[in-house]
Structure 1
Amino acid sequence: MELSYWDAKAALDWQIELGIDEAIGDETVDRYALEPARPAEAAPTAAPAAAPGEDQRPATPPLPVVEKVDAIALARQAAAGVADLGALARAMETFDHCQLKAGARSFVFCDGNPDARLMIVGEAPGRDEDRLGRPFVGRAGQLLDRMLAAIGMARDATDAERAVYITNVLPWRPPENRKPEKAEIGMFLPFLEAHIALARPELLILMGNTPCEALLGRAGITRLRGQWTEVLGVPALPMFHPAYLLRQPQAKREAWADLLDIQARLRGSH
């Protein structure tokens, strides 16, 4: 049945209201089909025609291959080439394979006297440390200073006999002071080992679980504390972190016993 002019117009108006604004032929159009070849004088060499039934869409280009970076191997290379503490600090600060660097304010390398007989290894910078660029300067650091003073030691002492040298496993603050991840610890372990080798302390204190995980491969500070071990040929003693002592004051008795043990070792090594 033929449509009248007015019926055809009404049908067209209805389609426009539905949003149909393009005329479509009786047969479907393959929009992915190859374009017709250009005139011979301007066209490049034509590709062979696809066989009937074959997919005529152009092949999707392969995704670029992203080479995986072995950050730990690169850290070993960077740490192996340092000759002194200044070079080590520069190598660590310019090491760009740790995402913590992007969110931190300050690079926190060390504090105290590098000639000290006693070296302390903590976990990572906190908010105050990130702000000031020095390790152990918040409430936990203030408690640490009082603990050291009780056995006649101080980070600001110029005399190597009474001085203390302090660093952390990580030089960058983890977000929200979260515990460092294993990959982050492994990434900075070569730098930490180089740090200890260059400082050459007589005794090491491993403050908390993270230094124990990094240098001993073990965790569980309540079991490890008070038991002397060895790290890179240096006598080392795991101790409670001062932040833990602030939360658990009853553990200060064990910490005091560890401090007296350290004092005895330092006096007995003369």
Structure 2
Amino acid sequence: MQQSPPQSRHLEALLDFYLASGVDAALGDDPVDWVRLTRIHAEQRQQKTPMPPAGQAGSGAGNLDQATSTAANLPAAAAPSTLAGATAAGQTGQRGSASLTDHGAIPDQAAIAAARDLAAGAANLEDLRACLDSFEGCNLKRTAKKLVFADGSPDARIMLIGEAPGRDEDLQGKPFVGRSGQLLDRMLQAIHLDRSSVYIANTVPWRPPGNRTPTPQETEICRPFIQRQIELVNPDVLVFLGAASAKTLLGVQDGIRKMRGRWMAYSINGREIAAVATYHPAYLLRSPLEKRLSWRDFLSIHSKIVQQ
């Protein structure tokens, strides 16, 4: 008769599954009983009573404030929306507008408008970086190690924009410094450019936990900052590395296969900037046959700069 594996093997298998799924960040030290916390919040919404003080949700439930902040850092589909809205409501027991100092709250339109006003007040790139350093409206900042603001020359004619930092970028505080960044460097060298002649940034300046895709709320709260960054750099050409950054800033809905290589226009302050999307270097590492198409895109970028 075959014996079942010891409990330790089950735990190892679970850890292997988490690692294979890209989970490499612990968001809380205590276990969280999501079912119990969600039920507590639902009951209190019916009674219209305040949430219980932190640590009084019951044995094994963990600290409620910590649980709520953890929920906000999970993907939108995984985090209970009613629980994530609890801290935004304060002690009123009902959902209200999330302020920039509400930890763990999903940003609403008021918070996004506040981020837009903050970004618009930045007179230069140094001010904009300082704004992001002090900004508390995006939950990703709470799990990221460093702000990944930009790299390259602010006077560059070409600005490249990705989606969000990865592990290596989070450690160094610079965009595109891992394997995909090394490939990007080689692609730039092929058209006689390097990091000193371009400017590189991301739509989201903080790494999402486990390299997951930023949620729409996280992207929207960060969008005013990358828009202001483009205004301040004022490049002649925008290059979107991957479909995500193009969709965020151009509002297009096409996939990258249909979008790439097609010149579009990004409107800013009454001026139209030539813009093009190409494959993200991380995708090219997984699909090297597509490099030939990216090579065509970069040749087109080079021609566009020469013509202007």
Are residue 267 (structure 1) and residue 296 (structure 2) matched? no
TM-score normalised by structure 2 residue count:
0.64
Q: Contact conserved, 2:241 with 2:279, CA < 8 A, in 1? A: yes
DSSP-derived class of the 2:207 partner: coil
Aligned to 1:226: 261
CA distance in 2, matches of 1:132, 1:231: 30
Structure 2: 5+ residue runs without aligned partners? 1-46, 51-90, 99-109
Shift of 1:71: 2.1
Aligned to 2:251: 217
CA distance in 2, matches of 1:143, 1:102: 29
Shift of 1:216: 1.5
The range that moved more, 205-214 or 108-117, is 205-214
Equivalent of 1:252 in 291, 296, 300: 291
Shift of 1:176: 0.7
Q: Which has the larger radius of gyration?
A: 1
* Aligned partner letter, 1:221: I
Q: Could you report, residue by residue, the CA deviation over 1:76-104 in whole angstroms, capped at 9, with x for unpaired residues?
A: 11011111000011111211011111100
Q: Could you report, residue by residue, the CA deviation over 1:48-76 in whole angstroms, capped at 9, with x for unpaired residues?
A: xxxxxxxxxxxx88433253223211111
Q: Contact conserved, 2:97 with 2:111, CA < 8 A, in 1? A: no
Question: RMSD of aligned C-alpha atoms?
Answer: 1.3
Report the count of equivalent residues.
204
Aligned to 2:160: 120
Shift of 1:260: 0.4
Are residues 203 and 61 of structure 1, via their aligned partners in 2, closer, same or farther at CA, if it must alter by over 3 Å? closer
Shift of 1:193: 0.8
Are residue 205 (structure 1) and residue 260 (structure 2) matched? no
DSSP-derived class of the 1:234 partner: strand
Aligned to 2:114: 74
Q: Could you report, residue by residue, the CA deviation over 1:8-27 in whole angstroms, capped at 9, with x for unpaired residues?
A: xxxxxxxxxxxxxxxxxxxx
TM-score normalised by structure 1 residue count:
0.73
* Aligned partner letter, 2:236: E
Are residues 61 and 99 of structure 1, via their aligned partners in 2, closer, same or farther at CA, if it must alter by over 3 Å? closer
CA distance in 1, matches of 2:148, 2:291: 27
Equivalent of 1:243 in 282, 289, 294: 282
Q: Contact conserved, 2:168 with 2:178, CA < 8 A, in 1? A: yes
Are residue 130 (structure 1) and residue 170 (structure 2) matched? yes
* Aligned partner letter, 1:249: P
Aligned to 2:123: 83
Structure 1: 5+ residue runs without aligned partners? 1-59, 158-162
* Aligned partner letter, 1:236: A
CA distance in 1, matches of 2:111, 2:288: 39
Aligned to 2:104: none
Superposition pairs for residues 1-270 of structure 1, below 5 Å?
62-63=49-50, 64-65=91-92, 67-69=96-98, 70-155=110-195, 157=196, 163-219=197-253, 220-232=255-267, 233-269=272-308
Larger helix percent: 2
CA distance in 1, matches of 2:294, 2:130: 34
